[in-house]
């Protein structure tokens, strides 16, 4: 008998022609995380096992900052360029695509994470525990 984790993720693979490129970008992103991403990652990796997060994870043709696959939760960390009009439009389309794949997407700014990481973690825990 297959469990939820084994059956849920088949559709999350990138297009075969893009996967190698996305994988390389994801690896590079993991090596060059921003301060906010590093702070959040240090907190997320302390969560208990059912809330295992992956960083810079490929879902479809996207690389998301953090993903808890079992709970279908994506966390995006938005730097200043996410405030630009075109980037906001791209982020909206990306969120809509991830939502169609069954993911809940939450976003935090670098400032929120750097200045108040415990509040951010509390919000994430509330989502996970009240799912």
Q: What is the Cα–Cα distance from 94 to 97, expressed in whole angstroms?
A: 5
- The full DSSP string for 19-71 is HHHHHHHHHHHHHT--HHHHHHHHHHTTS-GGG--EEEEEETTEEEEEEETTT
Per residue in 10-33, pLDDT (tens digit) is: 445 677 888 888 888 889 888 899
Per-residue pLDDT tens digits for 96-121: 999 999 999 999 999 999 999 999 99
Domains in the chain and their CATH numbers? 33-129 (3.40.960.10)
């Amino acid at each position: 008998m297959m469990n939820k984790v084994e059956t849920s993720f088949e559709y999350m693979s990138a297009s075969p022609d893009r996967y190698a490129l996305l994988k390389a970008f994801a690896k590079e992103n993991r090596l060059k995380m921003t301060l906010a991403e590093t702070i959040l990652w240090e907190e997320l990796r302390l969560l208990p096992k059912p809330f295992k997060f992956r960083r810079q994870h490929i879902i479809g043709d996207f690389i998301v900052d953090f993903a808890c696959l079992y709970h279908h939760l994506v966390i995006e960390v938005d730097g200043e360029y996410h405030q630009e009009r075109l980037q906001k439009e791209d982020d909206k389309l990306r969120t809509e695509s991830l939502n169609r794949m069954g993911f809940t997407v939450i976003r935090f700014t670098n400032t929120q994470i750097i200045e108040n990481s415990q509040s951010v973690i509390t919000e994430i825990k509330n989502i996970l525990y009240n799912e």
